[in-house]
Amino acid sequence: MPDKRLIRWVVAVPMALLALATIYPLVFTANVALKARRDYVLDRFSPTTSLQWDNIVTAWTSVGMARYFANSLVVVTISVVLLLLLGSMAGFALSRLRFRGSKALFLGCLAALFIPFQVIMVPLARVMADSGLIDTYPGLVLAYVAQFLPFTIFLMTSYYKTIPAEIVDAARIDGNTTYGVYRRIMLPMGTPALLSVGILNTLFCWNDVLISLLMMPSANHRTLMVGVTSLRGQYSDNIPTFASGVLIAAVPMLMIYLFLQRQIADGVTAGSTKG
């Protein structure tokens, strides 16, 4: 049927335009980031003729992006490792061990999943301030872990439920304690889920701005995203440097997108089909 095929092509054209509209903003920003300031003022659209890596260097060194980048890297790495550790421990217990109160615990976790950060941020700031954790790295790590732990536990629990009980039983017969089962069976077998959930948590923590703004008032404690928000004020008359800073902050997640797109999609859909 030729007209059916025609319809497909007719649909494909707006879809291609939309794809263009999806990519163009980033291409535009990357192009601006590499333009000389004078060229930008004259013509912001034309492809840059001279690659001005200086802009990137300026953003990296003199604006403090290097410092913010390091802050983010440390905080996000520790947060994600803790999330995976605590989430898999709790997920194992909730999915494969029988104990009093396990049902109530799982429901409590689900309930916590539906409490947005904005709802608890004022009292949380007070709790953190009272315990001396505000404006400290451990405080920010704790805030991230608390925020994303319910989601992590939920996904790990549903994944561990798909591991056959026979495997766990067999490991016990071989003389493993509960901790041995966790270390030798659940951790290795949970790798695909840990990878998906780990990447998603990395995205959430790296991209966060609100929690970091609330927890880290000092300028030298800023994470990268808060650093980006401060760029605009400093470089409002130097858009290429501003764009360079934005680009630096976007690159790590673009890498994750390029190489680990599948795992992100798996994590997102696991949440939807089990929910």
Partner 1 sequence: MRSERLAPYVLVAPALLIIVALRLWPLLLGVNFSFTGDGERNGTMVGLDNYLEMFQDATFQSALRNVGLLVLLLPVAVAIPGLLATFIYLRVPGHRVFRSVYFFPAVLSPVIVGAIFNLMLAFDGPLNTVLATIGLGPVDWLGDPGVAMFAVVGVHVWATFGMALVVFLAGFATLDSALLDAARMDGASLPQTIRHVIIPGLTRTIQFVFVTTMIGMLTSMFGLLYVMTSGGPEGSTYLPEYYVWIQQGQMNRPALASAASTVLFLIMLVVGLLQISVLRRAGRED
Q: Are 44 and 251 in contact (CB under 8 A)?
A: no
**What gap in Å lies between CA 161 and CA 151, rounded to an integer?**
16
* Contact positions with partner 1 (CB under 8 A) in 231-250: 231-232, 239, 242-243, 246, 249-250
- Contact in structure between 225 and 212 (CB atoms under 8 Å): yes
* Interaction pattern, residues 196-225, with partner 1; x per rule: CB under 8 A: -------x--xxxxx--xx----------x
Judged on CB neighbours under 10 Å (0-12, 13-18, 19+), 230 is middle
DSSP string, 223-263: -HHHHHHHHHHHTTT-HHHHHHHHHHHHHHHHHHHHHHHHH
Q: Using the rule CB under 8 A, which residue among 36, 74, 78, 256 binds partner 1?
A: 256
* Residues in Cβ contact with 49 at an 8 Å cutoff, skipping those fewer than 6 apart: 39
- Would you count residue 12 as binding partner 1 (CB under 8 A)? yes
User: In degrees, to the nearest 5, what angle opens at C-alpha 141 toward C-alphas 138 and 145?
Assistant: 135
Least CB distance from residue 191 to partner 1, whole Å? 19
Of 46, 61, 77, 261, the residue at the interface with partner 1 (CB under 8 A) is 261
Specify the DSSP class assigned to residue 220.
Answer: G
Task: Tell me if 15 contacts partner 1 by CB under 8 A.
Answer: yes
Q: What residues from 64 to 83 belong to the interface with partner 1 (CB under 8 A)?
A: none
CB of 25 to partner 1, least distance (A): 5
Q: How far is the CB of 258 from partner 1 (least distance, A)?
A: 9
For the bound state, the minimum distance from the C-beta of residue 255 to partner 1, rounded and expressed in Å, comes to: 10
Tokens 């405080």 -> residue: 139
Q: Binding of partner 1 at residue 16 (CB under 8 A)?
A: yes
Binding flag, residue 62, partner 1 (CB under 8 A): no
Q: How far is the CB of 166 from partner 1 (least distance, A)?
A: 20
* Stretch 110-169 residues interacting with partner 1 (CB under 8 A): 111-112, 114-127, 142-143, 145-147, 149-150, 153
